[in-house]
Amino acid sequence: MKQHLKKFILLALRACDGLPMPQGALVGAVQNLARPGAPTQGDVLEALRDAETDGYVCGVSDDLSETSWTLTIPKGVHKARQL
């Protein structure tokens, strides 16, 4: 299931066209894309960490807001375009 979730993460971030997506919105989008599989928030966050480790996404956080995610350039963008 984790591989499918990573695919949905890339698709959701690709739809943002380079703009950062807040983690809460990304988790919700992936859960909607993964229906009827019904992944938990923990499942999505684990897949997100794996995608970050693989170099496809990058998360940035500060003291004022939640983590925002984007595709990495060029690896994440290239992989998302292949889907």
Q: Identify the domain containing residue 71 by its residue range.
A: 2-82
- Total domains in the chain come to 1
**pLDDT for the residue numbered 63:** 83
For residue 1, the model assigns a pLDDT of 78
Distance, in Å, from the CA atom of 80 to the CA atom of 10, rounded to the nearest integer, reads 5
Output the pLDDT for position 64.
Answer: 84
For the chain, 83 residues long, the average pLDDT of each consecutive 10-residue run is 92 96 97 90 97 97 90 94 91
CATH of the domain at 36: 1.10.10.10
Instruction: Count other Cβ atoms within 10 Å, centred on residue 76.
Output: 23
User: Considering the entire predicted model, what is its pTM?
Assistant: 0.92
3-state secondary structure (DSSP) of residue 27: helix
